Amino acid sequence: MAGKRTQKKKRKGTKRTKRRTGSVALLPKLIGGALIIGALLVLGGYAYFSRDLPSVTSLRDYTPPQTTRVYDRNKKVIGEIFAERRTVIPMSRVPRYVVLSVLAAEDADFYEHEGLDYRGMLRAMARDVVAGRAAQGGSTITQQVVKLMLLTPERTLQRKIRELILARRLESELSKDEILHLYLNHVNFGHGRYGIQEAAQYYFQKNALDLSLAEAALLAGIPQAPARLSPRVSPEAAKRRQRYVLSQLQAKREVYWPDLSDAAIAAARKENVEPVPPPERSSSAPEVLTIARRALRSAVGDEALGKGGYEIHTTIDLPLQRKSREALQRGLRAVDERQGYRGPLRRAKRRRGPKATKPKDALRMGRTYIARVRGADDGAGKLLLDVAGHPAVLRMRDAVRFNREGRSASAFAKRDDLLPVSITQMGEDDDPAIARLERGPEGSVVVIEPRSRAVLALVGSFDAVSGFNRATQAIRQPGSSFKPLVYARAIQSRRFTAASLVVDAPAVYDEWKPRNYEQWNYQGAVRLRQALARSINMVAIRVVEELGVQDVAEFARQVGITTKLEEDMALALGASGVRPIELANAYATFAAGGRWAPTRIVSRIVAPDGAPVPLPAAEPARDVMAPNEAYVMTSMLRSVVTEGTGSPAQRLDRAVVGKTGTSNEARDAWFVGYSPSIVAGVWVGFDDQRSLGKRETGTRTALPIWIDVMAAADESPKETNFAMPSGVIRARIDPASGLLAYEGQQDALEEVFLVGTAPTEVARSPDVADPNLFLMEQFDEEGESASTGAPRPAREDRVLGGVAPP
């Protein structure tokens, strides 16, 4: 029995041994199967998450949106055009200090790993577990490039896996330097600045190449959290981050960057780094930015405009641009003070006052409406308005010009008060429109260099805001500032000289009865020079009558008036509208010796790769007048300043000429004039054609602005005068008759004439009897009346429009 039990035990042990041996033999198969299944899962997951991944090869052609900059003539930045503020620079323009600081801040092992830092990932996972959330990023620079440029920034497992796949692909496609180049030019440094070059310019007003180690360390710390680590927003947090970057540079110096000395790091720690003051938010020349953008779009198209990176060089003198706007603002404020343009409109008696604009189906930008105040929100600093049946708000910060005392919205205007406003932003859905107070007049300033036709300043409104540019877009009646074009054609025709006598007396033309500004004052026969200086309307009308309206209109077109002119007798008085810039350029034709040329604002455009961009061909210049004809016109305009309506300009104490202009009911006030080197034109008026107010004229309203502009613009020596060309002679004349002065005449004047047009007859001395008196007496004795107005035979060829006084 014992033997049997022993045999049974042996058989059971053998079975157990066989089972153990079988299990051991099966283990490798199980492991192998698990590995295969795992591999299949990994491959399946890889294949799944690789679906529809963007191509990393697209990053070889790195063309992100860049900043287009607009420069003045001295390469000062006027403004920027951008979707994202970015300036791409090559690695050759990135100093080693910046590279090392970025590596210390973001990825010290960047040049060692192949896109993924596995140890860093494990550390991040451990910290995430401890924190119970995604608290640690652990991304390499390569991963950040993938996240910034190929994927969305969302934090999901799926996006993270796609990021890891793309990071490995990117490392196999681009070199380390190429990946770092992408990062340094694409990453956000806060305040809408992208890339190291924009950051260097914004925070330190220098190029990236010129950054110190301390500055580089400060900037390198920002991308981790731009809103929180900006030295403008949180200077202490930014400095703590800078100290961390410098400590990382120190700790890893021997292993990673032994070329960086301890002394350099120590010096960076001691350096006091402060950002420069932020640049002005608004451009001082929005009018120029609009023109520059339009020129770029015309040259390269919308797609290239959106990508940016261009340099647009202009003829604008930025300091002069600012001074010109300041001069316009002073002048407009002076009108505000004289006319009481502040607060709501005055309520007139007997129901003749202003009325609110009637309801309309829709509002339009650029029009002026009379709005009714419906309430005030002092907390938000807004007035609530009804504009032609539509809700709108007026922000008090936009009404500072008319609220110098800083009154609250409720103190500024009461319910049912009326305010003239324009719409600057249309309302959408339930949001009201944004209104702008139009209580006082607007204006424009144009400054031109006559020889080159470079526009040095272009101001189209009181405020430096984009919108309606009155200098180039407003069409306004020039009034008497158009008369120089009439007289220039008269001189050119050789039918008139500066000494020609023309009768200033009332007349009627097809039921139109024009009058002088001083309606009670008619002076009889006056010389053309006097008529221009005193701005006598009736003389200008008679000159146009003699020359022909069509003839004068065609001459105006030749000197650059492109606005359609009404060809009737009222053209003599500037009743047909023109644009300020084209009238200023017409005067520039006189200043340039009779040569017309188009004005220039955009001088050249440079592409992102440095190549010049071809600009559309400009209209060729043309000679409209001979230099001697233009000189005579300039000489006549000089009398406007020395003895006429422009006399306040004498305080400039230099050779300047020009002409005032005031349209009917003082709706427009002008002064356009020039020195030998600068032309300037000023216009003032309401957009809705309201009167400027009592006693507002070109002399009172526009000329003071022009004087301030010219004082700032003309830097030539004060003794510089207009050079007299050949083809002009000087002669002494009798001021009463326009004839040559008699010998010894005490009140004789010196006058300029084109060669061949000077008078040949000598004026009669008071001591010599007039032979015409004998003829007139004989005429009376034959029964004819001497009061019929018949011209005297000896004088009829030199007096236009009536009888010259004896």
Burial of 399-417, coded b for 16+ CB within 10 Å and e otherwise, reads bebbbeeeeebeebbeeeb
Longest CA pairwise span in the chain (Å): 190
Q: Is 271 a catalytic residue?
A: no
Which candidate in 230, 284, 480, 500 is catalytic? 480
- DSSP, collapsed to helix, strand or coil, labels residue 556 as helix
Q: What is the dihedral of CA 26, 29, 34, 38, to 10 degrees?
A: 170
Give the residues across from 606 on adjacent strands. Answer: 311, 612
Query: Under DSSP, is residue 367 helix (H, G, I), strand (E, B) or coil?
Result: coil
Q: Could you tell me the two tokens for 434?
A: 């944004």
Tokens of 569: 């007798």
Q: How far apart are CA 284 and CA 72, in angstroms?
A: 11
Q: Where are the alpha helices (DSSP H) in 505-558?
A: 528-533, 537-547, 549-558
Whole-Å CA distances, 802 to 442, 501, 780, 799: 42, 10, 19, 7
Can you tell me the distance from the alpha carbon of 656 to that of 703, in angstroms, rounded to the nearest whole number?
12
Q: What would the two tokens of residue 160 be? A: 């993270």
Q: Are 698 and 673 in contact (CB under 8 A)?
A: no
Cα distances (angstroms) measured from residue 446 to each of 168, 326, 601, 648, 679? 59, 13, 11, 20, 8
The DSSP H or E segment spanning 150 is none
Question: Residue 106 in contact with residue 100, Cβ under 8 Å?
Answer: no
106 labelled catalytic: yes
* Lookup result for tokens 């189906």: 361
Identify residue 181 by its one-letter amino acid code: H
Distance CA 499, CA 153 (A): 81
Catalytic residue among 101, 106, 444, 500: 106
Whole-number Å distance between alpha carbons of 447 and 705: 12
The Cβ-side half-sphere exposure at 614, using a 13 Å CA radius, reads 2
How many CB atoms are closer than 10 A to CB 396?
A: 21
Enumerate the active-site residues.
Answer: 106, 480
